[in-house]
Amino acid sequence: MSRTLIDISRLGTETTWPSVAVEVNGYLQNWLTAANTQVSQHQLRIATAPNPIATAADPCGWRIEATLAQRTPAGVPAVLLLEVFLTGTAFLIRPGIGNSEPFLGIDSQQGWVYPAGDVGLSSGSWSTTPLPFNAQVGWSLAPGAEYFVFAYSQHRFSNRQAVPLLIARDQVSGHWILAASPPSTSFDALRAVSWNVRSGQPAGSRTLLRDNSSTPIQIRQPAELVLATTDWSYYESANEPAQFWEPLLLPPDFAALNLSSGAMSYFKPPDGSEWLAIGGHGLLLRTKDAPALQGGTVP
């Protein structure tokens, strides 16, 4: 399978967020151009790119937009939005749905809709203390399994491990999933937004589907994001009809591990595949395929 993994690690003393983000953005632009050629029904766009001359007080990061073929009830294309901005030491992630393309709510939150009731802002913090900056950028243009991911670790505790960008195709619907996980110890700090075909509405998530760490350590495929659904029953007057959803599945190069704070660890299960842990919440990125078909039968 065609995949690329690049090490952009650098000395902590030399690491500034704008320089890192600008380097990542170069790879992102190249990948995004190719991905848009391949996936014509979904257009990805970097609405805001990292500012190379951002000072410590300036927000620096991305707003990524994905225009879907799917239309909102108002008849305009649905736009998936993801903002990842670092200001000083505050690392903020905001997923959303826009009601127009280009998205007009640039200077206000007008038109910005969170994908589910409990999938709002997520935050972490960036360390300005000189720390080793261990970082990877990976991507694939395998048809149907396209993804781009940027992950880093500043030390082995999960409040310094992040996946600031994860753009991947949902294996069920084929829509893009825009996701990011801040450097945070909260197990559900991840934010993701996509479009659910079956229910005809945005789908959001705040956590990977995985067992807790007291169960046997396992690498679980496919990597699935737990859907966040608004519990309308809290509102006595609401009478929402029952809804049917499909799960959000990341491409097969991703898996879920029920260990935390193992970012940049390397895992070799007995089937011969090899996996790199990214972020602080159990996401694995495959670096080597299993030589033979997996599976088998328990006697």
Residues forming contacts to other proteins in the complex (CB under 8 A) are 5, 7, 9, 11-12, 132, 134, 136, 153, 156, 172, 198, 209-212, 214-222, 226-234, 238-247, 255, 259, 262, 264-271, 273-274, 276, 287-288, 290, 294-299
Q: How far is the CB of 272 from other proteins (least distance, A)?
A: 10
Q: How far is the CB of 135 from other proteins (least distance, A)?
A: 11
| Spatial separation of the C-alpha atoms in residues 192 and 254, rounded to whole Å | 15
Q: Is the peptide bond before 291 cis (omega within 30 degrees of 0)?
A: no
Q: How far is the CB of 79 from other proteins (least distance, A)?
A: 24
Q: How far is the CB of 216 from other proteins (least distance, A)?
A: 5
Contact 148, 43 (CB under 8 A): no
| Spatial separation of the C-alpha atoms in residues 192 and 96, rounded to whole Å | 9
Number of neighbours of residue 21 by Cβ within 10 angstroms:
24
Q: Which is nearer to other proteins, 45 or 156 (CB)?
A: 156
Contact 139, 3 (CB under 8 A): yes
Q: How far is the CB of 46 from other proteins (least distance, A)?
A: 26
Q: Which is nearer to other proteins, 123 or 258 (CB)?
A: 258
Q: What pairs with residue 56 in β-bridges?
A: none
Q: How far is the CB of 33 from other proteins (least distance, A)?
A: 25
Burial label for 154, CB within 10 Å (0-12, 13-18, 19+), is buried
Contact 81, 98 (CB under 8 A): yes
| Spatial separation of the C-alpha atoms in residues 139 and 12, rounded to whole Å | 24
Q: Which is nearer to other proteins, 73 or 295 (CB)?
A: 295
Q: Which is nearer to other proteins, 89 or 294 (CB)?
A: 294
Q: In terms of residues, how long is the chain?
A: 299
Q: Which is nearer to other proteins, 180 or 255 (CB)?
A: 255
Q: Which is nearer to other proteins, 108 or 239 (CB)?
A: 239
Smallest Cα–Cα separation from 90: which of 63, 53, 127?
127
| Spatial separation of the C-alpha atoms in residues 79 and 102, rounded to whole Å | 8
Q: Which is nearer to other proteins, 122 or 134 (CB)?
A: 134
| Spatial separation of the C-alpha atoms in residues 274 and 83, rounded to whole Å | 31
| Spatial separation of the C-alpha atoms in residues 61 and 141, rounded to whole Å | 23
Q: Which is nearer to other proteins, 62 or 254 (CB)?
A: 254
| Spatial separation of the C-alpha atoms in residues 130 and 115, rounded to whole Å | 36
Q: How far is the CB of 298 from other proteins (least distance, A)?
A: 5
Q: How far is the CB of 210 from other proteins (least distance, A)?
A: 7
